[in-house]
Structure 1
Amino acid sequence: MTSGQLILKQPDGGLAPLPILVSIPHYGTEALPHIGDDDYSEPWFRTFAYGFADTFAGDLYSDLHQQGATVLATPISRIFVDLNRRRADFQQEHGIVRSTRGVVRTHTIREAPIFTHDLRSEELEKRLIHFYDPYYATLDQLLQQIRATHGYALLLDAHTGSPRRMLDYQVIIGTRHGATSHGAIGARVDAIFTQHGFEVHHNISGYAGGNIVRTYGQPEAENIHAIQLEINASLLMTTPRQEFIAQISRGEIPSKNHDNIARLRACLQEVITALPKVLMTLHPNP
C-alpha cells in the first residue's frame, strides 16, 4: 500500500508474517507537493530533498517483506519532516520556525536559509499532523498487531548513513546502550554481518538510536525490542566519499556498487530469517 504519507509492504505469497517490523524513516526523496524550484533560496538547494534521504535505502530494505517482515517507509524527504526526531525538535521565535537538524530543516548547518519563505509554526504543525503523526500511529498499530499475534515484537529501524558522518564505520547497531533491545538480538545481527565480511560497531556516539527506537524499544515492560541499523552509504556506491556531497549538489545520483548491495541484501535476508528464533528463545512463554 502506498499513500501520500506512507509506504506499507506486508508479507505476500502465503508467507506467515514474522514478528519483525522494518521502519525506513529516511527512505523518501520526494519534495512536498507544493514545493517547486522557485521556493529554494539557491537553485542547487533543490537537490537537498534527495541529499537528506538515506542513499539507496530502498535497495537494501524495501523488499524485506518478501522474507516475511512488515515494512513501513515514507516517500517524503526528511528535509521536510524528519520522522526519527522528536516531534517538538525545532526552535521558533514569533511564530517563525528555525531548524538545522531537527524535525524539519529550514537552514543549512551554516545557518543559510534553504527556502525563500519562512516556515510558520502553524504550517509546520499541519505538516506534522499530515506526515509525522500517521507514521507513528501506524508504527504503534503494527507493533501492537505483531505482539498480539506472537506475544512479542522487534522493530528494526533501518538506515544508510552519510559517508561524511559515518567515516570509516561500516555497520553500526544502536540500542540506546542496551536499553531498547536484549543484547542477544544485536549480537546475532553483529555475527551475521561479520560473517559476511563487514565491520560492526555498537552504540557509536550519534548512532546509538534515534527517536523511533527510543519511543518503542521496551523489551522488559512491553516485550517490544527495537534496534537501529546504520549501514555506511559509502559501501553502496562507487562514488568516493569526498565527491559524494558535490555530486549530490549537482543533482547527480551516485553510481551504485552492485556487488556490495547484493552482499548487504544477503546479510539482511539472513538477519530477517534468524531473528525470529532469537526472539522465541527470549520469550518462550509470551
Structure 2
Amino acid sequence: MSDMSDWLSVTRGDAPLLLSIPHSGTDLREVESRFVSPWLARKDADWWIGDLYSFATALGATIVRTTVSRSVIDVNRDPSGISLYPGMATTELCPSTTFDGEPLYRDATPLSTAEIDDRRARYFDPYHAALREELARLRQLHARVVIYDCHSIRSRIPRLFESELPQFNLGSNSGQSCDPALSIAAQGACASSGYSHVLNGRFKGGYITRHYGRPQDGVHALQMELACRGYIEEPIGAVSSDNWPTPYDAEFAAPLRSVLHTVLSRCIEFAQSPQA
C-alpha cells in the first residue's frame, strides 16, 4: 500500500523494518528562484537512493520518503538547532551552504526565523509524523522494529572529513540507538563483502537515528551512509554541473546492492529473533 502527497510518500509493508529516505529529494519547491543555481541546490542530494533500495519492498519493508531537497529543509537535523557533530562542519535545518561551503542563496541575508518555522511546519513536521505513525503501526505487529536511515555522500569532501570515506558507514549513535546485536549483524554483512566499512566513524547517525532509536522501547535505529563510488561512477576531483550527478546504472550498482540486501535481511532477522 502506498499513500502519496505531492512530496511525501509512504509505502507500507508488514516486516519489522522501516526505511527512512530523507535526502534523495530534488524538489526545490517555491525556493528555487532564490538559490544561486538549481544544480548547486541539488548537488548534495543522496543521489539514486530510491533506486538502490527499491528491492526493500519485496522484503516487506515500509518506506518513508520525501521528494523535497535537503537544501529547502533537512528533515534529518535537530530542529532545535543543536549540532549533531559539535566542533565539526555540518549543515543546518535550512542549509545556507553546500557541503563544500559554497553559499546556496543569492541573497546573503540569513533566512528569517519565521521562514524556517514555516518550512518546518510544511515539510519537517509531516515527515516525522509519518515516521511516528509507521513506527507505531509496526510496533503493534512486532515486539521489535528496526528503523534504518538511508544515506549516501560523495567519497571525498575535505570540508567534512579527511581522505576517502569508507564504503559503508554505519551509525548507532555510539551504541545508544540500537541493541549491539543489530549493529554487529549489519557490520558483519559489510565486513564479509570485502568493501571498506566502519561503525560510528565520521557519521554516527543523524537526528532520525538519535531521536527514534529507543532500544528499551523496542525501536532500534541504525544509519547507513554509503560512499557514492560503490554504486555510481564518481568523478575524480571536483564536481560540476557537467559531471555530477552521474546516471544510475543498475549493473554497476548490483554488487553493492547485494550487500545491502544482506544488511536489510539481517535487520529483519534481528527484529524477529527471540529477545534475551
**TM interval, short-chain normalised:** 0.7 to 0.9
8 Å Cα contact 1:100-1:111 kept in structure 2: no
Per-residue CA deviations over 1:14-40 (Å, capped at 9, x if unaligned) read xxx1100000111101111x234x423
In structure 1, the partner of 2:234 is 239
In structure 1, the partner of 2:224 is 229
Secondary structure of the corresponding residue to residue 135 of structure 2: helix
In structure 1, the partner of 2:120 is 128
In structure 1, the partner of 2:71 is 79
Are 1:273 and 2:228 counterparts? no
Are 1:187 and 2:179 counterparts? no
Cα distance in 2 for partners of 1:66, 1:173 equals: 23
In structure 2, the partner of 1:204 is 201
Secondary structure of the corresponding residue to residue 276 of structure 1: helix
8 Å Cα contact 2:40-2:104 kept in structure 1: no
8 Å Cα contact 2:235-2:243 kept in structure 1: no
The partner residue of 2:107 within 113, 116, 119 is 116
Cα distance in 1 for partners of 2:192, 2:93 equals: 36
Rate the CA distance shift 1:101–1:3 in 2: closer, same or farther, 3 A: same
Secondary structure of the corresponding residue to residue 23 of structure 2: coil
Question: Mapping of 1:63-102 within 5 angstroms?
Answer: 63-89=55-81, 101-102=91-92
Structure of larger gyration radius:
1
In structure 2, the partner of 1:216 is 212
Question: Mapping of 1:253-264 within 5 angstroms?
Answer: 253-256=245-248, 258-264=250-256
Per-residue CA deviations over 1:60-81 (Å, capped at 9, x if unaligned) read 1244122210011100110011
Rate the CA distance shift 1:257–1:223 in 2: closer, same or farther, 3 A: same
Moved over 4 A (4+): 108-111
Displacement after TM superposition at 1:217 (Å): 0.5
Cα distance in 2 for partners of 1:111, 1:48 equals: 8
Per-residue CA deviations over 1:92-137 (Å, capped at 9, x if unaligned) read xxxxxxx971111224564745233843221221111010001111
In structure 2, the partner of 1:94 is none
**Number of equivalent positions:** 262
In structure 2, the partner of 1:29 is 26
8 Å Cα contact 2:230-2:256 kept in structure 1: no
Rate the CA distance shift 1:25–1:208 in 2: closer, same or farther, 3 A: same
Q: Which runs of 5+ in 1 are unaligned?
A: 12-16, 92-98
Q: Which runs of 5+ in 2 are unaligned?
A: 84-88
Question: Structure 1-normalised TM-score?
Answer: 0.83
Which shows bigger deviation, 154-163 or 103-112?
103-112
In structure 2, the partner of 1:95 is none
Displacement after TM superposition at 1:4 (Å): 2.7
Question: Structure 2-normalised TM-score?
Answer: 0.85
Rate the CA distance shift 1:9–1:203 in 2: closer, same or farther, 3 A: same
Rate the CA distance shift 1:73–1:171 in 2: closer, same or farther, 3 A: same
**Aligned residue identity for 1:219:** P
Q: Percent identity?
A: 26
Cα distance in 2 for partners of 1:110, 1:228 equals: 24
Cα distance in 1 for partners of 2:218, 2:24 equals: 27
The partner residue of 1:176 within 170, 173, 176 is 173
Cα distance in 2 for partners of 1:281, 1:136 equals: 28
Cα distance in 1 for partners of 2:273, 2:55 equals: 26
Decide which structure has greater helix share: 1
8 Å Cα contact 1:90-1:103 kept in structure 2: no
In structure 1, the partner of 2:155 is 163
